[in-house]
Structure 1
Amino acid sequence: MNIVYLNNQFIPSNEAKISPMDRGFLFGEGIYEVIPSYEGKFIGLQVHLNRLYNGLESLGISSPLSNEKWIELCQELIARNEGENLAVYLHVTRGDSPTRNHAYPTNTTPTVFAFTFDIPAQPVPEKQNATVYNVSSQQDLRWKRCQIKSTSLLGNVMHFQHSINEGNKETILFNDQNQLTEASASNVFIVKNNTIMTPPLDNQILPGVTRHIVLALLKEHSKFTIEERAISYDEVLNADEVWLTSSTKEIAPVIKIDDNIIASGKVGDVWLEAQTLFSQYKYQY
């Protein structure tokens, strides 16, 4: 039985109960994080927690735990669930309110819920063993504050389901100017002529932790030119390589978008170098 954490208690998952008057349930009013670990070692733990704090601040919710207590909670969940490859899911809402009202209540206690789930083994930096992605594309129809890692994920879910309906694994999104934003559950990079590009951080995309680590590693350890700038639809389709990045995918090569094959349709050499760097240094973050 999975052991979860709910409001200061570690309990079996089937005993966890949250009020239907919780504002997370009624309004999707909460923040979450997914933090990967392999053999008990976390990747980007503090970066994830910093993003959690930023999200809570944007909603006017005080962090219910100190930084030390968050780290202890993550470590305790991993220990109690005894998995080799586990992600910790952290979920904080504004809490239970006696009445349903759009205005923020002033007297609620945040609800803290956390659990673990299995994740795939670490990606191996070998072309022949890479998990490749065929993806769909759509106009980005989500809300205008995508930099907040909100539990209100309906827009992302609908875009993701579009890819499933088309027999693909993800949907890459473009704004109304036909510029790349991100994917429904990933950030996106492209490679052209030894330049690695990704959209700049703004309200259209989530500041991904894997994105952050990849950029830091490439800037420090590679000779590639790195650009954070607006990227057009045509640039994506004509790229030498396209990647998805996320905490559970790490760096995933895209070989087809809709009916368009990316370059040769094979995993690229730049991906191999980037994933090799990530595999070597990721525990430093």
Structure 2
Amino acid sequence: MTRTVYVNGDYLPEDQAKISIFDRGFLMADGVYEVTGVLDGKLIDFDGHRTRLERSLTELGIEKPAAFDNLLDIHRELIRRNDMTEGTIYLQVTRGSAGDRDFAFPNPAQVKPTLVLFSQSRPGLADNPVAKTGIRVISIDDIRWGRRDIKTVQLLYPSMGKMMAMQAGADDAWMVEDGFVTEGTSNNAYIVKDGKIITRQLSTDILHGITRAAVLRFAFEARLEVEERSFTIGEAQQADEAFITSAAQFVMPVVEIDGVKLGDGTPGRVAPRLREIYLEESLRAVMPPCRTLCGQPY
């Protein structure tokens, strides 16, 4: 079955979808994106993703696409046309194409943004067997630019990080800056010590994860202690357990860091419980946007 994708107002078979070779997303990585999970045919945390998309566009001075107010309908239509049950919807907005290559931004009155969406069907996403065994991560230097809070399409180094992990026989990489873990290549990072969940505080150093916000809210409601602060790889290796969160992996246990097993090398108690809660709540209803937790902006 050929996927139906969305390009600048049109629903098209994927093999007929085209954008200009002069699009700034292609030439300059001048664009932003969002990935929204789909479970049981329903969008998960959509409002949070749309809010973060608007913020990313504002931070980079990219105009909102004309269809911005219709994004929910577009997402739902892609789910319907592609008969999706589980998976993700990928959305990308670039500054558009001025018809040639130039470092200077084009005049937004003359050049409109490019809007592309497509579905990725992933049956069994919620029942991923890896969640029962956990993943292994390595540490790598974080050499990305300083505005990681903006979800840009500049993903070369995270892609390199995933390849470094694969070459090392691991599943993913945690990036380290000034001795402290920032985040994973495409996820937020956490450790658990004596029942306390520890994760890096929000700043321009990390992406303000939508799944992160939801999971921390659920942890708070479950009366689990959460401490938002930086931690080192050494501290992580001494933790009782660890995990990551993302829109595509939800809550995924980490059982080994740089070759050091956590505990007995199997998922602990907190991460699997948080995954269970997250999936239960997500399947129950489309959740409202997660913007605050204990006074912290999300």
- For the superposition of Structure 1 and Structure 2, which TM-score range results when normalised by the shorter chain? over 0.9
**AA in 2 matched with 1:233:** I
**AA in 1 matched with 2:255:** I
Identity among equivalent pairs (%):
33
Q: Do the aligned residues in 2 keep the contact of 1:123 with 1:130 (CA within 8 Å)?
A: no
Picking from 134, 143, 146, the partner of 2:145 is: 143
Alignment of 1:73-222 (within 5 A): 73-106=74-107, 107-124=110-127, 130-175=132-177, 177-220=178-221, 222=222
Distance (whole Å) between structure 2 residues aligned to residue 271 and residue 66 of structure 1: 38
Give the TM-score of the pair, scaled to structure 2. Answer: 0.90
The secondary structure found in structure 2 opposite 1:172 is strand
Distance (whole Å) between structure 2 residues aligned to residue 195 and residue 91 of structure 1: 36
Q: Do the aligned residues in 1 keep the contact of 2:181 with 2:232 (CA within 8 Å)?
A: yes
Q: Do the aligned residues in 2 keep the contact of 1:137 with 1:257 (CA within 8 Å)?
A: yes
Q: Do the aligned residues in 2 keep the contact of 1:236 with 1:242 (CA within 8 Å)?
A: yes
Distance (whole Å) between structure 2 residues aligned to residue 198 and residue 87 of structure 1: 25
Quote the offset at 1:67 in angstroms.
5.1
Distance (whole Å) between structure 1 residues aligned to residue 131 and residue 210 of structure 2: 24
**AA in 2 matched with 1:2:** R
Quote the offset at 1:25 in angstroms.
0.8
Residues 224-246 of structure 1 show CA distances to partners (whole Å, capped at 9, x for unaligned) of 21111111222111110110111
Q: Do the aligned residues in 2 keep the contact of 1:125 with 1:276 (CA within 8 Å)?
A: no
- CA 1:129 to 1:228, structure 2 compared with 1: closer, same or farther past 3 Å? closer
Aligned equivalent of 1:11: 12
Distance (whole Å) between structure 2 residues aligned to residue 277 and residue 100 of structure 1: 48
Distance (whole Å) between structure 2 residues aligned to residue 61 and residue 162 of structure 1: 33
Aligned equivalent of 1:229: 229
Aligned equivalent of 2:32: 31
Quote the offset at 1:120 in angstroms.
4.6
Give the TM-score of the pair, scaled to structure 1. Answer: 0.94
Aligned equivalent of 2:71: 70
Distance (whole Å) between structure 2 residues aligned to residue 184 and residue 156 of structure 1: 5
2:283 aligned with 1:280, yes or no? no
- CA 1:129 to 1:150, structure 2 compared with 1: closer, same or farther past 3 Å? closer
Residues 93-123 of structure 1 show CA distances to partners (whole Å, capped at 9, x for unaligned) of 0101123221211121111111001225243
Q: Do the aligned residues in 2 keep the contact of 1:125 with 1:275 (CA within 8 Å)?
A: no
**AA in 2 matched with 1:90:** L
Distance (whole Å) between structure 1 residues aligned to residue 118 and residue 13 of structure 2: 10
Q: Do the aligned residues in 2 keep the contact of 1:125 with 1:272 (CA within 8 Å)?
A: no
Residues 197-224 of structure 1 show CA distances to partners (whole Å, capped at 9, x for unaligned) of 100111111111111100111112x222
Distance (whole Å) between structure 1 residues aligned to residue 138 and residue 215 of structure 2: 24
Distance (whole Å) between structure 1 residues aligned to residue 128 and residue 4 of structure 2: 33
The secondary structure found in structure 1 opposite 2:72 is helix
The secondary structure found in structure 1 opposite 2:201 is coil
Distance (whole Å) between structure 2 residues aligned to residue 104 and residue 284 of structure 1: 37
Distance (whole Å) between structure 2 residues aligned to residue 6 and residue 62 of structure 1: 16
Distance (whole Å) between structure 2 residues aligned to residue 231 and residue 267 of structure 1: 20
- How many residues are aligned here? 282
**AA in 2 matched with 1:235:** E
The secondary structure found in structure 1 opposite 2:117 is strand
Distance (whole Å) between structure 2 residues aligned to residue 38 and residue 276 of structure 1: 14
Distance (whole Å) between structure 1 residues aligned to residue 235 and residue 180 of structure 2: 9
Residues 44-78 of structure 1 show CA distances to partners (whole Å, capped at 9, x for unaligned) of 00001111111111111121145540100000010
